Amino acid sequence: MENKKTFNLQMVKRLPLYVNALKKLRASGVEYISTTTLVKEMKLETMLVRKDLAGLGIPGRQKLGYKVNELLIAIDGYLGWNRYGEAFLIGAGALGSALMGYKQLEEYGLNIVAAFDVADSKVGKEIHGKTVLHLSKLPNLAKRMGVRSAILTVPPESAQTVADMLVMAGIRGIWNFSTKELHLPDQVICHNENIAGGLAAFSFKLKEMYDKETKNGQE
């Protein structure tokens, strides 16, 4: 089970890369695309691209290949892209501020409508055109605006407390950058973004490479 889930997740995470490539092709007037061209454009293995396309359930046309627009629509449908609608951001530190100014998120339809913090140094500050509000204002605003998604960029030690408060405020989805696993009720989904984990993976790959070279050098 875990296995299957891992694979689906990897496919899901690749889809924005397809969207980028397909939009670029569409902008240059391409209507149909062959698997071969897509493989080349995506710089992925042929088998993987075939698997991803099969997963989307779009049939290719003999000789013509896939219709670029159909693929884009299929990806949209598969991801339920945009379901998060408007989102709150909690924790206006370096990472939080960056996400507020990160244009790619907007391109994918994620609209950060308000940012919150508790630090005197941050509340009231304007970041990328939005004023940081005190966290205590979140429950009322969530109710009034109907916001149900949140981006959590607080330090690990306050992550659970803030998450509990978000749940109480009716938040149903948390995109968690806090490097802390959260205890959440079943009706709330969470996706962990683990940048420290990415750094660990980067370090591990470097280690493997340098170790291999040292070993080869000794032989």
Give burial (CB, 10 Å; 0-12/13-18/19+) of 192. Answer: middle
90/158 Cα distance (integer angstroms): 11
CB of 134 to its own copies, least distance (A): 22
CB atoms within 10 A of CB 80: 8
> Torsions phi, psi of 204, nearest 5?
-65, -40
The two three-digit tokens of residue 114, written as one number: 């308000």
Q: How many residues sit close enough to its own copies to count as binding (CB under 8 A)?
A: 70
Interface pick for its own copies out of 80, 129, 185, 217 (rule CB under 8 A)? 80
CB atoms within 10 A of CB 21: 20
Which is nearer to its own copies, 104 or 136 (by Cβ)?
104
23 scored as a contact of its own copies (CB under 8 A): no
Asked if 98 is part of the footprint of its own copies (rule: CB under 8 A), the reply reads: yes
Least Å distance, CB 119 to its own copies, is: 14
Q: Does 9 bind its own copies (CB under 8 A)?
A: yes
Helix, strand, coil shares of the chain, percent, nearest 5, are 55, 15, 30
Question: Any contact of residue 13 with its own copies (CB under 8 A)?
Answer: yes
Interface residues toward its own copies, by CB under 8 A: 3, 6-7, 9-10, 12-17, 20, 42-44, 78-84, 93-95, 97-105, 108, 110, 128, 149, 156, 172-173, 175, 179-183, 187, 189-191, 193-211
